[in-house]
């Protein structure tokens, strides 16, 4: 995942609207026909890109509302094949075993409510801890003066280069030694206190806050902790929200770590459940409708979050920081 | 690790040593910041030490041992490294991964550059940018399963469409020659919008005057792209490549839920192989040795790339 800190991309359109339009309009004058043809072609290409990008989402939706029997017969039907909610009933364990089998579902009992809850718990806990503790660290790196600060920061950042699996193996051993396999703490702890990216991301913002603001608060008698909580955090509400959204999405989508330490039913998150659901589907005639309904359940919260906060997320992609 | 526009600011805020002149009021014993810093850093430091630093050291140690988790590690020197040199499955995994990275990154970068330029010329619409970004925020597992269905041999919509235009249906995940490119393409689909937006941000930083000058010199769109956009974009592109290549090498989720390494090891990427060794066969020592090698390879590639582009940078500007 990657993001930026600066507001640069957001600011650019304004700047360009003022500075560039007259110039480019003038430049376009003499050969106004060719760019027009080019633009039509460009939009055609863009339309194809958007179609390819969005079609799978539509297809997931369409299949989730179909029946397995009709899906086979109407593989080329662009609408739902035999509109029904049965697939969702199967996914949420609302059907009996016989019903499920009759609908072309798997025999195993699945309960996506539970996995949905588990995903919410894990993603929420990860986000709250990681963002708050990373903000504290970022404050120390951006705002406090102490010997060895820049070196310490560089050491923290170097963790960005380490591939996940390299630390995942010893971390698994650690979680096992602590007796935390198949518990929420085991799932959350490794990313609860910090990620190099989160610290880096927030440090960039804190660096940009005018020192005077902070000094005013200190003169008023506020200590460091109070300044941090009452001045720095509220002033950084926007970047903190962005980071929180990105962290939440990341935690929600994580597959590898929960696969290692969260196999048991009571802590299983949606991504892991999906993998199991897929491997349980009968080889000959998979429960496609059920599978797509399940993927929809797993993707929907993120898609909704994206729709609600899309502009902020889109503008956060850029170059001050990459992970 | 990345080149960040934080330099000047960081310096302004920094300077642990150069303080006395600036604080004449004597109110602040600035060294006192150290105590505050320790408090503020405590949780993050715990996280860093416990879940990054110690595991890294431990991982390196495991790689020198025979370790099954059930019994304590037993030191075996470089035996694991010797074994991997002679392990055909390791070399297969590296080859498969490298092929995957080449297909994935090659296509993705070309498509993303095209898309970024297209967006810059056509529209700044947040809606368009949001739409192309959407796949990136959906879980790998979800993406993999949706495409797994769409590419199904019998019922997949892609094969249905192929048949309509007279092409035989393809076993995208069952055919050893098709499986890896298929997975690479799925991830191109997922990442192209995101990569395009990174490049798009880089394009915004190129001054419009440069294009105006090029236009005055009579350069057409293609010439402008080749002689202005690409060279000026090179540093950004290098950074994007370091990040995307590092990520691409760590392909796991998509393979794990679709082919699980098959058919006949055609998609057994290095991550999957390490995962199998550790958690399937409880061979933690050997698995750790492989992940050390992966780490070194990734580090080498990143350093090489940054070095090459630094040399080019001075050329271009």
- Asked if B291 lies within 8 A of A169 by C-beta distance, the reply is yes
- Chain A residue numbers with beta carbons less than 8 Å from the beta carbon of B257 are 274-275, 278-279
Is the Cβ pair A165, B291 closer than 8 Å? yes
Tens-place pLDDT, residues B140-177 = 999 999 999 999 888 888 998 998 898 898 899 989 99
Residues B104-139 as b or e (16 or more Cβ within 10 Å = b): bbebbbebbbbbbbbbbeeeeebebbbbbbbbbbbb
Burial (CB < 10 A; 0-12, 13-18, 19+), residue A30, is: exposed
Q: Provide φ and ψ at A287, rounded to 5°.
A: -80, 75
Asked if B271 and A144 come within 8 Å (Cβ–Cβ), the reply is no
Residue B54 lies in a domain: no
For residue A53, CA distances in Å to A254, A274, B67, B145, B253 come to 22, 22, 45, 15, 20
In a domain, B284, yes or no: yes
Asked if A303's CB is within 8 angstroms of B236's CB, the reply is no
Q: Using 50, 70 and 90 to split pLDDT, how confident is the model at B311?
A: low
Contact assignment for A317 to B201 by CB distance below 8 Å: yes
Contact list in B for residue A306 (CB cut-off 8 A) is 130, 134, 137
The CATH homologous superfamily to which domain A114-280 belongs is: MetI-like (1.10.3720.10)
Distance between CA B171 and CA B151 in Å, rounded?
8
Taking CB atoms and an 8 Å limit, are B54 and A170 in contact across chains? yes
Domain for residue B30, yes or no? no
List where CATH 1.10.3720.10 sits in chain A. 114-280
Residue B302's pLDDT band, with cuts at 50, 70 and 90, is confident
User: Mean of the pLDDT values across residues A64-88?
Assistant: 81
A-contacting residues in B 269-288 (Cβ below 8 Å): 271, 274-275, 278-279, 284, 287-288
Choose, out of A146, A263, A289, the residue to mutate when testing the contact with B (most B CBs < 10 Å).
Answer: A146
pLDDT bucket at B3, cuts 50 / 70 / 90 = very low
Overall size of chain B counted in residues: 317
pLDDT of residue A44: 93
- The range of the structural domain enclosing residue B239 comes to 87-316
Query: What is the domain count for chain B?
Result: 1
Q: What is the mean pLDDT of residues B283-304?
A: 93
Which of A163, A192, A278 comes nearest B145 by C-beta? A278
Give the closest residue to A239 by CA, choosing from A105, A92, A138, A155.
A138
Closest by Cα among B111, B101, B185 to B147: B185
For residue B131, being part of any structural domain is answered with yes
* Contact call for A194 and B19, based on CB within 8 A: no
A308 pLDDT band, cuts 50/70/90, is: confident
Give me A27's structure tokens. Answer: 């430049």
The domain that contains B128 carries what CATH number?
1.10.3720.10
Q: Which tens digits make up the pLDDT trace of A15-43?
A: 333 344 444 444 444 444 556 788 899 99
Q: What is the mean pLDDT of chain A?
A: 82
Where is pLDDT greater, at B219 or A192? A192
Mean pLDDT of A146-165: 89
pLDDT of residue A108: 59
Q: Could you tell me the pLDDT band of residue B266, with boundaries at 50, 70 and 90? A: very high
> Which residues between 75 and 114 in chain B have a beta carbon less than 8 angstroms from any beta carbon of chain A?
none
For A:163-192, CB contacts with B below 8 A are 163-167, 169-174, 176, 189-192
Judge whether B252 lies within some domain: yes
ipTM of the complex: 0.84
Q: Which chain B residues touch A216 with a CB distance below 8 Å?
A: none
Q: Which residue of B has its CA nearest to A145?
A: B16
CA separation for the pair B100, B95 (Å, rounded): 8
Whether B157 is in a domain gets the answer: yes
Contact B252, B271 (CB under 8 A): yes
Q: Which residue has the higher pLDDT, B267 or A74?
A: B267
Minimal Cβ distance to B5: which of A19, A271, A320: A320
Is B229 in contact with B200 (CB distance < 8 Å)?
no
Looking at residue A128, its pLDDT comes to 97
Residue B286 pLDDT grade (very low, low, confident, very high; cuts 50, 70, 90): very high
| 3-class secondary structure, A292 | helix
Of A76, A255, A323, the CB nearest to B141: A255
């Amino acid at each position: 995942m990657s993001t930026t800190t600066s507001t640069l991309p957001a600011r650019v359109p304004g700047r360009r609207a003022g500075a560039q339009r007259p110039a480019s309009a003038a430049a376009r004058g003499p050969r106004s026909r060719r760019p027009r043809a080019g633009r039509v072609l460009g939009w055609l290409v863009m339309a194809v890109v958007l179609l390819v990008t969005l079609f799978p989402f539509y297809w997931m939706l369409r299949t989730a509302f179909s029946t397995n029997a009709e899906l086979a017969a109407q593989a080329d039907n662009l609408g739902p094949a035999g509109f029904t909610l049965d697939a969702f009933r199967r996914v949420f364990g609302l059907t009996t075993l016989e019903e499920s089998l009759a609908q072309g579902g798997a025999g195993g009992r699945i309960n996506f409510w539970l996995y949905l809850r588990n995903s919410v718990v894990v993603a929420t806990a990860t986000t709250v801890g990681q963002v708050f503790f990373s903000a504290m660290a970022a404050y120390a790196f951006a705002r406090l003066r102490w010997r060895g600060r820049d070196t310490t920061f560089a050491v923290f950042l170097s963790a960005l280069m380490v591939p996940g699996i390299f630390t995942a193996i010893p971390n698994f051993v650690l979680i096992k030694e602590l007796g935390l396999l198949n518990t929420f703490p085991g799932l959350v702890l490794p990313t609860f206190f910090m990620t190099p990216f989160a610290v880096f991301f927030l440090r960039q913002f804190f660096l940009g806050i005018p020192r005077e603001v902070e000094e005013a608060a200190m003169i008023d008698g506020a200590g460091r902790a109070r300044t941090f909580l009452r001045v720095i955090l509220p002033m950084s509400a926007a970047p903190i929200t962005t980071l929180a959204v990105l962290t939440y999405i990341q935690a929600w989508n994580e597959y590898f770590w929960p696969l290692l330490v969260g196999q048991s039913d009571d802590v299983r998150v949606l991504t892991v459940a999906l993998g199991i659901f897929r491997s349980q589907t009968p080889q000959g005639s998979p429960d496609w409708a059920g599978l797509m309904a399940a993927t929809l359940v797993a993707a929907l919260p993120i898609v909704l979050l994206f729709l609600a906060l899309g502009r902020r997320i889109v503008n956060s992609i850029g170059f001050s920081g990459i992970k | 690790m990345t080149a960040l526009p934080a330099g000047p600011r960081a310096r302004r805020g920094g300077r642990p040593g150069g303080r006395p002149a600036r604080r004449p009021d004597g109110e602040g014993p600035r060294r006192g910041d150290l105590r505050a810093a320790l408090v503020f850093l405590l949780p993050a430091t715990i996280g860093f030490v416990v879940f990054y630093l110690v595991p890294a050291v431990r991982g390196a140690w495991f790689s020198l041992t025979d370790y099954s988790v059930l019994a304590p590690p037993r030191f075996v020197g470089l035996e694991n490294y010797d074994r991997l040199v002679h392990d055909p499955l390791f070399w297969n995994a590296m080859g498969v991964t490298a092929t995957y990275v080449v297909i994935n990154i090659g296509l993705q970068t070309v498509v993303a550059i095209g898309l970024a330029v297209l967006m810059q010329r056509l529209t700044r619409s947040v809606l368009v940018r949001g739409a192309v970004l959407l796949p990136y925020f959906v879980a790998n597992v979800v993406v993999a399963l949706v495409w797994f269905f769409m590419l199904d041999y019998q019922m997949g919509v892609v094969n249905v469409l192929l048949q309509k235009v007279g092409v035989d249906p393809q076993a995208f995940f069952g055919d050893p020659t098709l499986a890896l490119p298929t997975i690479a393409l799925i991830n191109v689909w997922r990442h192209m919008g995101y990569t395009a937006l990174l490049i798009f941000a880089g394009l915004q930083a190129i001054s419009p005057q440069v294009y105006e000058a090029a236009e005055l010199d009579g350069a057409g769109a293609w010439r402008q792209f080749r002689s202005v956009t690409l060279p000026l974009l090179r540093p950004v592109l290098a950074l994007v490549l370091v990040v995307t290549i590092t990520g691409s090498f760590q392909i796991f989720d998509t393979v794990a839920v679709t082919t699980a390494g098959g058919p006949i090891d055609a998609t057994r990427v290095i991550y999957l192989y390490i995962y199998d060794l550790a958690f399937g066969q409880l061979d933690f020592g050997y698995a750790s040795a492989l992940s050390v090698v992966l780490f070194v390879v990734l580090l080498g590639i990143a350093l090489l790339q940054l070095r090459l582009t630094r040399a080019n940078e001075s050329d271009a500007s």
